[in-house]
Structure 1
Amino acid sequence: MSGYSRRQFLHTVVISAGTMMLSSQLGGCNNNDDEIPVQVATGYFPQSLASGDPKANSVVLWTRLAESATGDFNLRLQVANTADFAQKLVDSTVTAYANHDHCVKVKVIRLTPAITYYYRFLYLKNGVYYATKTAKTKTAPVSTADVSVKFGFVSCQDYIGRYYNPYVKLLDEQADFFIHLGDYVYESTGDPSFQNASGVRVIQFTDQVNAITAYASNGQPYYLAASLDNYRQLYRTYRSDALLQEVHEAMPMIPIWDDHEFADDCWGATATTFDERRNELSISRRQNAERAWLEYMPVDLDEVSEGSISVNEATLYPNNRIYREFYFGKHLHLIMTDYRSYRPDHLIREDAFPATVVLDEATLQQLISAQGLDFQTVRNSFLPYFNIDLAELATLKVILTAVVTQAYLAEGIATADAQQRASTVIRGNLDATVVNNLLQSYNQTTSTPYPLFDNTQLANMSRGLSYLGLGKQSLFSSLGSRYLVVKQSYDLYANYQYLMGSGDSGQNGLGQTQETWLRNTLLNSTQTWRVVGSSVSLTSLLLDLANTDGLPADFIALLNSLPSAYRHLFYFNVDQWDGFVNKRAALVELLDSVTNTVSIAGDIHASYVSQHGERTFEFTGTSVSSGTFSTLASNQATEIGLSNVEAITASIDYLLRRANPMISYANSNANGVSIMQVSADSIEVDYHLLAAEVAFENHYNDRQAIRDNVQTLSFQVKSGKLSLI
């Protein structure tokens, strides 16, 4: 456990409003404590301060002391109703422990509902109180109050090479609080697939020896957080941003995590950086990420009313719980979920062998007949396969094993592992199309070529669904596993896995315990509106690259220029809820069964307004600074060697809306923040959007320029209907 005992984990101190310190509690104090000079010293508090998880009678306050000396240090917390601290409600001593990176979290209780409070921390040194800036926080209204509530929701704020300009609009809105839906930090410090580490916004790990080293396609190394110090450094650096500090100083935050707080596209304690080239299960790394998150995030996870709240190994993965609920008056019940901690692996592994047949002809016949369809009418849409284990194919099996072993070696896999992997995948039913491609490569290297399967042989083979038919075209890749999977094939495979294979556990993105909690929470809710916060979206991202009906001539030509392997209807991203076809449908049904339920989400770096079921609406907010969905699509199109990339990505929103009738509004090429106002009869949502290229420039000192370039769109949900206002 990295040398940490239970006593050494961060404690959130619980202090009651009305608690006043004795002057002797701070070393060197005297009875004229208020006469000691106070000066703001951001150098001692470089991450400023923050508050979070507001409730009617409590809120969590946070700061971090940066002291060059070693050891633990006492701080003084002051809370008041006015910014001059003339009448203090709290004036108490707290300790910044070295073992907690000198972070301090204080839960102040017995506060008055719906009141703005001012707070600061003081550090006594050499006869002077060095102070944080003065910040504001606000408690929630009581659950019976007939009041409207305004809050922001944001996500995905990559620091590397980017700036947080959209936060200016969040500050302008003077919201009661804001929600962070995840990717508050990114674990990578220069991943060339989406980060530009050549400017001034860079991070170089001080504990680089314990970071994970990855390599770009050009062989250049970059690093990913792994140690506790790595993750702490991320939070220290991100929280040093001046505009982000202003947001935290102005209002409380309610955060959840997504994947990048630990690792991209993670599931539980398993990362996906190397696409199964190596085992990326690391409980210690996951726990390091969670410790840092809990140290730096002002969250109240324990519902403790008195005493210290402990964070120790018993509360970290796999025993973690960050899903929770909040009440803001009689109209808003906020329900925050956790998609990453309990979810299973992606249905298609990144190392899935393209030739492996996952559904044979007999199984396909059953599945398709059960849908009332005639299998023979669709049989030829599946690929021919054969059993490599037949005795007469022994020579072919030896050849294929050798060819695939070499392919694994070319991917950097060690010899023994490459041989083991090859012997594992060259067995059972194999896709003859993939095998013919492998044989073509083999025959170019030998004077005794092995004959390919001819058209007659292929026509006489059984038909099945292989990983190639799902979209998987290489040994190790996120394409065809987490991204760009063929929808019809994937739905068949997911249904089979759900009904006859892994069952509920194979698709439960929330885990059984959280799912039961969510169901009970929704069904027992009595507030006017329920807002469910999720780090990932329920909105399907379908890309139809096959159907040209009704398209302009130039776009038909564009689609016709694509290789045949990409002329399909695709799920773009099955790392989100699209990957769990059956459980997504069950969740939508649950949400739709409770009137006045809306969901908010982040993750995908785009703005979408969608309808699920008959009366459930979802507002997916874009990234604060991270590369937009349009950029991600462009990168993936380039990766698979497609031409006309700019034309494709310029039309991404058109393609998405064309294939996804649930989407009412789409903008995949802007950063921004979103604001929701909840009242007795309606919910209104404003999207404040900035062009993606603005993220590369610092406009903090020219805020009017930001405001002048913001595009705002407003939507309303009222009486079960969605409208643009």
Structure 2
Amino acid sequence: MTSLSRRELFSAGVFVVAGAAAATVGGEPAQAAAPKGALPGTTFAHGVASGDPLPDGILLWTRVTPVKTAVPGSGLGADVSVTWELAEDSGFRRVAAKGTVVTGAARDHTVKVAPSGLRAGTAYWYRFSSGGVTSPVGRTKTAPAAGEALDRLRLGVVSCANLQAGYFTAYRHLADRGDLDVVLHLGDYLYEYGVGEYQARDVVVRPHDPTTEMTTLEHYRRRHAQYKTDVDLQALHAVVPFIVTWDDHESANDAWSGGAENHTEGSEGTWNVRKAASKQAYAEWMPVRYDAGGQLYRRFSFGDLASVSMLDLRSYRSQQASTIVSPEISSPERTLTGAAQMNWLLDGLTQASTQWKLIGNPVMIAPVRFPSTLSTAEIGGVQTLLGSTTIDGVPYNVDQWDGYTADRSRVISHLRDNAITDAVFLTGDIHSGWACDVPADPLTYPSTGTSVAAELVCTSVTSDNLDDILGVPPRSGSIAVEDAFKAANPHVKYLDFDSHGFSVLEVTPAAVRMDWYVLSDRTSPTSTSSRSVSYQVAAGTHKVTALA
């Protein structure tokens, strides 16, 4: 798939960040000057975005503020008409689709449209207008035609962006590349915590709005709106389509179908009401083909090269296990995916018409044993990082697939028994970088066991890593912990517990390659980035190997 250069993007008038920050007015993204007759206060302060590319369609998103009082979550402001245009050129001389929709306070004045009948593998430019004011211009691209021979696909891969813990310069560096076909966001697009509850080594870099933990629809809307005013996030949304899924912090920490670790019934209302509020705000504010109460898991294909199956591992899961010595943790009655999603995943792996089967996987599937050599402080730090707990005296991460071994066994057995090749799990959640084989039997791997898939885990954009939790310099005390984990888990080939940043995944018929990029300082709006390491999965091998 071809991409535009950064110079071409600038000449096209696409809204991107130049250097450390975009043009701003009073700290907000710059808006087109309102012409005479425009509604007072009309802005597109939250940028534009696109997502979920199909060969013949794309989803477009924005939010209009029709009057100054119609701030996100307020419930204020009348219904207004918003016109949208999609063109094959940046000057909008060849308009491919256009229309008018009505939005209002019932959907927090957000706008989502899904033009269809478009040309496959084609770049498009889009914009919105309302009340005489025009939004920034965005650029997007449809997916290649089904079955089309494709020699390359390049994806940005990100997870865990906590605004209180730093600046989103990782997004700026991705936007500056100009060579991405899509961005995969694997969850924790935002965080639910109030000010002072979770930040950068206990320093609040940028305070959340609202200042309290988000539990109501107003809270979730305001928090989504705050994140969408970040200039680096706006820049990335404006130049490449996203494919997203949620993890837990879009609602509450360690969420499951009937509750969450970070939810108290009574004082914070009922879980079902809070969950519904988080899902409604997500449906309104994210460029995703999802309506509140609907199905988030979905699949995309890119020619004959790759499919991307995005999982929802929060809506249907059983409560996390409380013991590992009883049958609870391996009980087939407990589920991570839910029955319908599991069948959909397995069928998709078997019936895929693409070479590579990529799985957008919010929590880690490769098994992880805690080393017995760690100190109490190291165990506590890793538990905090991974969201794990000590059960029956044994550190264990029951929030990952490790806590739902019956479901994991179904996936692994399906891959092995059907001789499915070139399956790669792309994972976020745990604020660290990993490259792993996924063994059919971890107890005999690698001496006699086989690997059925590979897993590549991106680190956090800003959320705390192990060095932050332990309060030690980066790449110091964590190195011994990493070595101990790799020794205890021979299928883990790469592990970085310290870095913040992003990953870039390149898919070709020969291999899937992930490059990890690390930030020099997540708390600086001018942070630089550099490539740390690269690992690949060669076609047909199911194994990760290091690259120079």
Aligned to 2:333: 505
CA contact (8 A) 1:160 1:197 kept: no
Aligned to 1:166: 170
Aligned to 2:458: 621
Deviation of the 1:37 alpha carbon: 9.0
Q: Which has the higher helix share?
A: 1
CA contact (8 A) 1:541 1:571 kept: no
Aligned to 1:114: 121
Aligned to 1:183: 188
Aligned to 2:153: 149
Structure 1: 5+ residue stretches without partners = 1-35, 206-221, 302-310, 349-469, 471-489, 548-554, 560-564, 639-644, 700-704
C-alpha change, 1:195 and 1:232, in structure 2 (3 Å) is farther
Deviation of the 1:67 alpha carbon: 2.4
Partner SS state of residue 114, structure 2: strand
CA contact (8 A) 2:373 2:484 kept: no
Aligned to 2:354: 527
Look up the equivalent residue of 1:108 and give its one-letter code: P
Partner SS state of residue 255, structure 2: coil
C-alpha change, 1:202 and 1:498, in structure 2 (3 Å) is closer
C-alpha change, 1:594 and 1:121, in structure 2 (3 Å) is same
Aligned to 2:409: 585
Matched, 1:44 2:33: no
Deviation of the 1:600 alpha carbon: 0.4
Deviation of the 1:178 alpha carbon: 0.6
Whole-Å separation in 2 of the counterparts to 1:105 and 1:277: 34
Deviation of the 1:198 alpha carbon: 6.0
Aligned to 1:446: none
1:276-308 CA-to-partner distances (Å, cap 9, x unmatched) read: 99898510110000000000111124xxxxxxx
Whole-Å separation in 2 of the counterparts to 1:141 and 1:324: 17
Partner SS state of residue 286, structure 1: helix
Aligned to 1:329: 303
Partner SS state of residue 719, structure 1: coil
Percent same amino acid among aligned pairs?
26
Deviation of the 1:268 alpha carbon: 1.3
Whole-Å separation in 1 of the counterparts to 2:224 and 2:107: 13
CA contact (8 A) 1:187 1:225 kept: yes
| TM-score for both structures, normalised by structure 1 | 0.61
Look up the equivalent residue of 1:182 and give its one-letter code: G
Partner SS state of residue 675, structure 1: strand
Look up the equivalent residue of 1:156 and give its one-letter code: C
1:300-351 CA-to-partner distances (Å, cap 9, x unmatched) read: 24xxxxxxxxx4xxx52xxx41111111000111111111111111111xxx
Partner SS state of residue 651, structure 1: helix
CA contact (8 A) 1:543 1:569 kept: no
1:374-412 CA-to-partner distances (Å, cap 9, x unmatched) read: xxxxxxxxxxxxxxxxxxxxxxxxxxxxxxxxxxxxxxx
Whole-Å separation in 1 of the counterparts to 2:237 and 2:475: 38
Give the 5 Å matches for 1:98-247: 98-124=105-131, 129-147=132-150, 148-171=152-175, 172=177, 174-194=179-199, 199=204, 201-205=206-210, 223-247=212-236
Whole-Å separation in 2 of the counterparts to 1:588 and 1:713: 25
- After superposition, the CA RMSD in angstroms is 3.3
After TM superposition, the structure 1 stretch with the greater mean CA deviation from structure 2, 280-289 or 97-106, is 280-289
Look up the equivalent residue of 1:715 and give its one-letter code: Q
Larger Rg: 1
1:456-485 CA-to-partner distances (Å, cap 9, x unmatched) read: xxxxxxxxxxxxxx6xxxxxxxxxxxxxxx
CA contact (8 A) 1:42 1:131 kept: no
1:55-106 CA-to-partner distances (Å, cap 9, x unmatched) read: 0000000000112262011111111111111121223212222211100000
Matched, 1:66 2:55: no
Aligned to 1:682: 511
CA contact (8 A) 1:606 1:670 kept: yes
Aligned to 1:436: none
1:606-625 CA-to-partner distances (Å, cap 9, x unmatched) read: 00000012241100111111
Whole-Å separation in 1 of the counterparts to 2:393 and 2:516: 29
Look up the equivalent residue of 1:113 and give its one-letter code: A
C-alpha change, 1:684 and 1:43, in structure 2 (3 Å) is farther
Whole-Å separation in 1 of the counterparts to 2:404 and 2:260: 19
1:193-250 CA-to-partner distances (Å, cap 9, x unmatched) read: 5457865611242xxxxxxxxxxxxxxxx73111111000010000110000000000
Partner SS state of residue 500, structure 2: strand
C-alpha change, 1:142 and 1:654, in structure 2 (3 Å) is same
C-alpha change, 1:655 and 1:277, in structure 2 (3 Å) is farther
C-alpha change, 1:277 and 1:578, in structure 2 (3 Å) is farther
Deviation of the 1:526 alpha carbon: 2.2
Whole-Å separation in 1 of the counterparts to 2:36 and 2:100: 18
Structure 2: 5+ residue stretches without partners = 1-34, 70-76, 380-388, 440-450
Number of aligned residue pairs: give it.
479
Look up the equivalent residue of 1:696 and give its one-letter code: T
After TM superposition, the structure 1 stretch with the greater mean CA deviation from structure 2, 650-659 or 78-87, is 650-659
| TM-score for both structures, normalised by structure 2 | 0.80
Whole-Å separation in 2 of the counterparts to 1:660 and 1:134: 48
Matched, 1:574 2:398: yes
Whole-Å separation in 1 of the counterparts to 2:41 and 2:544: 46
Aligned to 1:600: 426
Whole-Å separation in 1 of the counterparts to 2:264 and 2:61: 37
C-alpha change, 1:185 and 1:282, in structure 2 (3 Å) is same
Structure 1 residue aligned with 2:248, among 259, 262, 287? 259
Whole-Å separation in 2 of the counterparts to 1:120 and 1:82: 12
Give the 5 Å matches for 1:683-702: 683-691=512-520, 694-699=521-526
Whole-Å separation in 2 of the counterparts to 1:646 and 1:673: 18
Whole-Å separation in 2 of the counterparts to 1:274 and 1:521: 34
Whole-Å separation in 1 of the counterparts to 2:265 and 2:277: 22
CA contact (8 A) 1:269 1:286 kept: no
Deviation of the 1:541 alpha carbon: 3.3
Look up the equivalent residue of 1:608 and give its one-letter code: W
Deviation of the 1:647 alpha carbon: 7.5
Whole-Å separation in 1 of the counterparts to 2:476 and 2:90: 54
CA contact (8 A) 2:216 2:274 kept: yes
Look up the equivalent residue of 2:408 and give its one-letter code: R
Partner SS state of residue 263, structure 1: coil
Give the 5 Å matches for 1:270-309: 270-273=259-262, 282-301=271-290
Partner SS state of residue 157, structure 2: strand
After TM superposition, the structure 1 stretch with the greater mean CA deviation from structure 2, 234-243 or 172-181, is 172-181
CA contact (8 A) 2:435 2:544 kept: no
Aligned to 1:354: none
Whole-Å separation in 2 of the counterparts to 1:83 and 1:92: 18
Give the 5 Å matches for 1:357-396: none
